[in-house]
Structure 1
Amino acid sequence: MVLFISCISLLLVLLVVYMSIEAKRTIVIDHQVTFANFPETFGSLRVFFISDIHQRTITDRLLHKVKEPVDFVVIGGDLTEKGVPLSRVLHNIKQLKKLGPVYFVWGNNDYEVDYHELDALLLSENVVILDNTAVKLESDQGEHIHLLGVDDTSKKRADLSLALQDCDEDGFKMLISHNPSIIHKVKEEDQIDFILSGHTHGGQIRFFGLGPYELGGFKEMKGTKLFVSNGYGTTALPLRLGARAETHYLVISRTK
């Protein structure tokens, strides 16, 4: 009996160690994403997407894993949370800026800190905050890509209609929302082509393939392509199982 209990205890310790390692993975997943209506004159759009950083620190090791140039970086919310020093947030922003210009949307945990201080820090570092707004990218030939961002849906701050007001009728529309539940507010007539989200952590801890949320990945819904990341950090417990930490290098182009 003592031997049995000792074996179970050892297995539990090993499992926790493994889960801790999974939570600290430094992975960049490459994605080739094509759309029939992507503006051909842009060639391709290269985006580094990272969501749910929480308490983690962005190291040079992560940056070195991004082998190709980046047009811009998107932080998909939960850049921070309660207890994370502002100095670490500043460090993470400066690290990501080495890859390219940075765009940010608010996540629910970002509101656990003094969001006025966080807002000021982001603005001082020239991070573009997409809080129910949009920016327009234009090719030399005059074709458009609209990058929209909404505030956090769980805090009832998201207003997609406001972001859409910043868009022309023509152009490729790419929406950033921390919470993928924004899909329920999207209408087909909004003509949103691509959505990037995080928040769910892929369930973070999954036993026998089951977790509180689905694993991250791509879905086709309401005439749009939705991508949900497992995220880079963790919340509550610094552990992962069956949903390892990840970041993403997306190359978006026109379907050939």
Structure 2
Amino acid sequence: MVSRRGFFRTFAGLVLSGAATGAYAVGIEPGRRPRVTRYSLVPPNWPSGLKLRLVVLADIHACAPWMPPRRIGDICQQANALGGDMVLLLGDFLSGMRVRSGHVEPEDWARELSRLSAPLGVHAVLGNHDWLDDPGAMAAGKGPTLVHGALESIGVPVYDNRAARFEKDGKAFWLAGLADQIGPWEGLDDLPGTLAQIGDEAPVVLMAHEPDIFPQVPDRVALTLSGHTHGGQIRLFGYSPVVPSRYRNRYAYGHIVENDRNIIVSGGLGTSILPIRFGSPPEIVVVDLG
């Protein structure tokens, strides 16, 4: 039988442990220097001799004090040092925070993103919060959004259901990007129309902010890259209790292979709704193809 003193000692330990965990989840992990998560893969039918390094940044969610311009600038310097052939931005530049936070103007975070550079350029898609947290675009029922304007001002193209052809070392590939699947209203994505723009047999890399599109992606696409989930923001033993996806943990995080089709879901950099991360630290993703 547990004594009264033993009960209160155990209870106090649990309270202190919970307080320490909460302090870490709010005060430390969200603001950590991003870890670099690396993936190396050769998708089916990938051309021999085509080696491509992609540096992927997702879910910046600019806001103070958690993701101020200075921190965004530091992340950009870290990303540049990774030697990517391309830098890909997977959406959700706006805050998405539901607790009180400081506003960061689009021109301020865009100025920091202008530090990014890569031989084959910097490319972006928009996320749901880039619509839902833009009252003007939502009221108008159409773009361009504030994020469209901010990225255009620094020369970063936004792939709204668009595909473009590139070459590296004499080998061709396509980069495609979907407009957002959630905001506004029924979503703006058009996967068939995007893939219809591809005019040869060169491999395709697809940017899609939300991973829920993946079951519809044909094996014509070598790799799908997504963000949005933040790894659930809380992740324990490979499981996320809450995932903003109709598929729950199926596409919560990491490299998933289904029927020889590949998707990599980034845990992202910022937070939304609440400034909490536990077991899902901020990350920059590096993908080596070929």
* C-alpha displacement of 1:150: 0.2
Provide the rounded CA distance (Å) in 2 between the counterparts of 1:4 and 1:125: 56
Counterpart for residue 247 of structure 1: 284
Counterpart for residue 86 of structure 1: 106
Provide the rounded CA distance (Å) in 2 between the counterparts of 1:227 and 1:33: 11
Whether 1:217 aligns to 2:254 is yes
Whether 1:38 aligns to 2:46 is yes
Provide the rounded CA distance (Å) in 2 between the counterparts of 1:248 and 1:34: 16
Counterpart for residue 77 of structure 1: 91
**One-letter amino acid of the counterpart of residue 18, structure 2:** L
Unaligned stretches of 5+ in structure 2? 1-6, 97-102, 137-143, 244-248
* C-alpha displacement of 1:8: 4.2
Q: Which of 191-200 and 209-218 deviates more?
A: 209-218
Whether 1:125 aligns to 2:125 is no
Q: Deviations over 1:120-144 (max 9, x none)?
A: 2211211011110011012454x32
Count of residue correspondences = 249
* C-alpha displacement of 1:96: 2.6
- Distance change in 2, residues 1:128/1:62 (3 Å): closer
TM-score w.r.t. structure 2 length?
Answer: 0.77
Counterpart for residue 61 of structure 2: 54
Counterpart for residue 246 of structure 2: none
Q: Which of 7-16 and 166-175 deviates more?
A: 7-16
Moved segments of 4+, more than 3 Å = 1-9, 64-68, 97-100, 206-210
Larger Rg over CA atoms: 2
Counterpart for residue 174 of structure 1: 205
Provide the rounded CA distance (Å) in 2 between the counterparts of 1:80 and 1:133: 22
- Distance change in 2, residues 1:226/1:64 (3 Å): closer
* C-alpha displacement of 1:7: 4.2
- Distance change in 2, residues 1:16/1:98 (3 Å): farther
**One-letter amino acid of the counterpart of residue 167, structure 2:** E
User: Over aligned residues, Cα RMSD in angstroms?
Assistant: 2.5
- Distance change in 2, residues 1:3/1:140 (3 Å): closer
Counterpart for residue 198 of structure 1: 227
Whether 1:148 aligns to 2:168 is no
Unaligned stretches of 5+ in structure 1? none
**One-letter amino acid of the counterpart of residue 180, structure 1:** P
Is the CA contact 2:30–2:281 (under 8 Å) kept in the aligned structure 1? yes
* C-alpha displacement of 1:154: 1.6
Determine what percentage of the aligned residue pairs are the same residue.
Answer: 27
- Distance change in 2, residues 1:61/1:177 (3 Å): closer
* C-alpha displacement of 1:89: 2.1
* C-alpha displacement of 1:65: 6.5
